[in-house]
Each structure stands twice: as structure tokens, then as C-alpha cells.
Amino acid sequence: MVVINKAQEMIMATLFVLGCFLQTVQAAKPDDVALAWRPTSPFRDELRDLGVAGLIRDDAEATALVSTDFGNVTVAAPAAVLYPSCPADIAALLLASCARSSPFPVSARGRGHSARGQAAAPNGVVVNMPSLGRLGGSSTASRLSVSVEGQCIDAGGEQLWVDVLRTALAHGLTPRSWTDYLHLTVGGTLSNAGISGQAFRYGPQISNVQELDVITGLGEMVTCSKERHSDLFDAVLGGLGQFGVITRARIQLVPAPTRARWVRLLYTSAAALTGDQERLIDVERGDALSGLMDYVEGTVLADKGLIGSWRSPSPSSSFFGSEPDVAARVAKLAEEAGGVLYCLEGALYYGGAAGGEPDVEKRLETLMRELRYERGFAFVHDVSYMGFLDRVRDGELRLRAAGQWDVPHPWLNLFLPRSRVLDFAAGVFHGIFRRGTTGAMGPVLVYPMNRNRWDSNTSAVFPEEEEVFYTVGILRSAVSDGDLGRLEEQNNDILRFCEEAGIPCVQYLSYYADQAGWEKKHFGPAKWARFVERKRKYDPKAILSRGQRIFTSPLA
């Protein structure tokens, strides 16, 4: 990295930002002009000197929109919101904070889908990342660029994964790893890990990134990769927004399939489900089921049924055939099983680069013969590849129409070692869930991943003691009065159960009340020491993502 002194750094940043700002003014549409007014925030002078004052809003409407996130549990109002026209605007903002004796917090916000304050900047400035694709003459298309020869896509950190997918598919290509919900930003998921049913084969999304453009907490604009500034690269991936703002990611692509055979199979025991899942994800063993599915997940059916949940096709969908008959049979099976069923959900890709229909039929035949699901409870549907990956969108639209999307989401996501997943199922799915029925809606996911597909050099924390670990996502929504309190208490009961039963677990999309919780319960001594060392190097004044309470004041 070229070393320049602070004076040079400030001059260069100012000139760069002024250029971006002038471009923004020249290209502004009438709706954008509302941004160009002088703020009254306490940071006004510093921001005006750096050329970004015209991109700041501190009115009640702007700050209220970013005072909470998808979790809708944590409320932290910022003093202002920055609408950047280019990455240099963000760098200028961070430089302004660094220059103060009391730096103000800064957090990047894409879709605000974090659950517990990662996108919050209490009394500071929230960066509205989608503005990078709208202001300064930019467009979504100009922030997405595919290299067919290199089989990669450069995507702005503010870009949605669904747009990444559409752009890549136009060239017959696709990213390898996904989240279940595609209407999230690239920078947002990469700052956590990005997991779904393809992680068993390709690892999380952070294992499929080739290069990043990052703005550190010091205001430095750095391009990094495994070969160049690798420590920053590793720190940012899974780093919870603590080390820098991702403004561009280069993501690996592979030839794309065109169709998906979407499969759902019901089970009456956790042992049968997890046993089959582990055979499916063991891509190196070579038995009849090894790697046969391209996408492997699972759900627990305790409070709400398979049919009509927000992650499912609608009750009228042909997926379930004659819905009333199926619903009655599923209800009877659940009663016979003691009130809890399990569902193996997955997909077999075909078409395009993934082979033809005869091949998928052969694979499906092997699945139906080898898997230990309840006969008569297999549901198979053929959809486009895009339709399968974007399947949760339909559920979102249904919930929005019913006014049940923007409600509190006290989610609990855990990583568990393989050896204890059945103990967890007995104590939680057949114990705590059955004793404390809340009536709240939302899926409960359970599926395994291979540890060797994760990179321990990144900041992401995951169980490393065993070759396979499970994710359990308890993704509940508080839709009625009293649900929030009951769900949070149930989450606490689950964590207490794990502690008392000696089941080691790591939170994903983590939340702890203070730094001590993060240090002792999440990271552990060795990983915490590395995390602090990286924080001291890239954000020593603890400017970034203070809403999580990992660091709330400058490091010594």
C-alpha cells in the first residue's frame, strides 16, 4: 500500500469527492435535488469541507427510516443519513469522523435486513448504500459487470443478489453459493457469511469471493484479495461490518442450469432426516446418495404446517396437488408422530450446463429409493432455476399484502456440532417447542454443512471441532400482541438448555448485549484476540457498526 501523509490524504479525498459531487449535481433528476440542502447535523462543518454535505439528510423522515432494521427489535436513531454518489463519498465521511476528537459512528445499510443493529449508527451517520447505484449518473447495470472469459462478476456492494443472478444468467452463468432470500445486498451477506442449501458443496458466499474493494474505518480505499492485502480481505469477510465498507465484490461464476426439480419429503424423526442429509452432503464418500442433490436443506414442522407457510408455495399451488386432502394427511401424520414432523427440502438442477431431463429423472429415482422419508409424503415440482432460487419472494409479497412483513423478527440462528444435533432436537423441537407454543409464524430450518468448505482465516465464527456442523435457524415473526416477549423468552430458554446440556453452539447473525458477551460466548480467546488486532489495524477509533456493541469506544 502506498504511504501518504494525512494532509495529502485529505486533499486527495476532497478533490475526488468534489468531482463525484459535481457529477451528482449535473446528473441529478428532480427527485434527487431534495438531497442537495444544507444539513443541521453536528458534523455539518466537517462534511461540508469534504464536499459531501449536500449528500446528507438529517430530517426526521430520513433518520426514522434507518432507525431500526428487519429484526424490528433494536431501535437506534442516527443523527443523519449519507446518500453517496460514489465510494469516495463514503471515504470522505469516514475521514471526517476520524478527524474529530470524538469520532461519530458510521454504518453501511443496504436492505437493512440485519436483525440486531449491524446497520445502525447511534447518533452517527448511516450510509444509504443503494444510492451508489442511483446517484452520480450510475445505474444498476453499470455497477454489475460480467467477465465471461474469467467466469466472474464484479458487483457493487449495494447490488441485490437477485440482480447479480439475472445479470449472470444473461451470459449462461451463475454464482455457486446463495442465501435463501435473494433481495439482500452483496455487501450485507458477505459481511456475515451468506448460507443456504448449496453451502455443503461450495461453502458460504464468503468462500466464493475473489476480490473486494473496501473502505476501512480509517477512510482508506483498498482493493484486496487472497494475494493482495489478504489480512483485510479475510477480516472483512464475515466481519460484521467492523473493518470496512464493501463497495465492490468479484464473485466466482460457473455455467448455469436452467431448471430445478424441487423436492420436499416428510419425516417423522430427526434421526432419519439428519442421517439422510448427511449422506447427501458427503460429496467425497461416493455412496448412492453422495452429492446427488444440488441443494439440501430441511425444516421442522411444529407450530405451523408445511402448506401455506411463508417459505412455501401458496395453498392453491399445484406443488401440493389437491391441497385439502394433502393437508389432512399431513395433519394426521403429525398427530401420529407426536406433533413434530421434519421435511427434507432440496433441488436437483438440470438443463443448460447441468445435464438433461433423463439424468434428473435417474437421480430422482435413486433418491426416492434410498431416502428414508415417509412413503406417500413426497412432493415434487418442476420450476425454473431462477424460480427456485427466488422462491421466498412470493412468500414475502404475500406477507406484505397481509401487513405481516414489517413486524418484529426475534430470530435465533445457531451452528451446532453434528454430534449433538439429535440432543438439541430432543430438547428443543420435542421439548421447548411443545411446551411453549407461541402461535407465532415462521420457518425453523435445520441442515448440515461441511466444515472444510469454510475458511477459518475469515472473521466468520463456526464450529471447527467436527467435520460436519448444523445450522438451526429459528426464524419466527411476532405477529400478535405478546408474541415478541414470548419468542424472546423462548430463545433464552433454548440458549439456557444448550448451556446446561453442554451443547456447544455459535450464533449466526449474532447478538450479545455487550463486549464481554461477544468475547466469551461468541469468539473465544484466540479468535477474539485476532478480531481485536484486526479492529485496531483497520478501525482503531471504532467508528464502524457500533450498533452491535462489539466495540463502542476507540481502542487503546
- Tell me how far apart the alpha carbons of residues 261 and 348 are, in angstroms, rounded to a whole number: 5
Say whether 493 is catalytic.
no
Helices 87-99, 6-27: inter-axial angle, 10-degree rounding: 140
- Tell me how far apart the alpha carbons of residues 188 and 547 are, in angstroms, rounded to a whole number: 15
Please report the sign of the dihedral spanned by the C-alpha atoms of residue 125, residue 128, residue 129, residue 132.
Answer: negative
User: Which residue in this structure is represented by grid cell 475469515?
Assistant: 458
- Tell me how far apart the alpha carbons of residues 399 and 406 are, in angstroms, rounded to a whole number: 9
Residue of 154, 220, 278, 297 marked active site:
297
User: Which residue in this structure is represented by grid cell 443523519?
Assistant: 80
Q: Is 72 left (phi over 0), alpha (psi -120 to 50) or beta?
A: left
CA dihedral 254, 86, 84, 183 (to 10 degrees): -10
Say whether 430 is catalytic.
no
Task: Decide if 235 contacts 135 (C-beta within 8 A).
Answer: no
Entry field: residues in the chain: 556
Residue of 32, 113, 278, 381 marked active site:
113
User: How is residue 5 written as a grid cell?
Assistant: 501523509
Q: How many CB atoms lie within 10 A of CB 166?
A: 15
User: How is residue 389 written as a grid cell?
Assistant: 432460487
Taking the alpha carbons at both ends of the chain, their separation in whole angstroms is 24
Say whether 171 is catalytic.
no
Residue of 163, 180, 282, 345 marked active site:
180
- Tell me how far apart the alpha carbons of residues 252 and 204 are, in angstroms, rounded to a whole number: 12
CA of residue 287 relative to chain centroid, distance: 32
At 173 the three-state DSSP class reads strand
Task: Decide if 549 contacts 515 (C-beta within 8 A).
Answer: yes
User: How is residue 155 written as a grid cell?
Assistant: 458487483
Task: Decide if 55 contacts 132 (C-beta within 8 A).
Answer: no
Which residues are known to be catalytic? Answer: 113, 180, 297
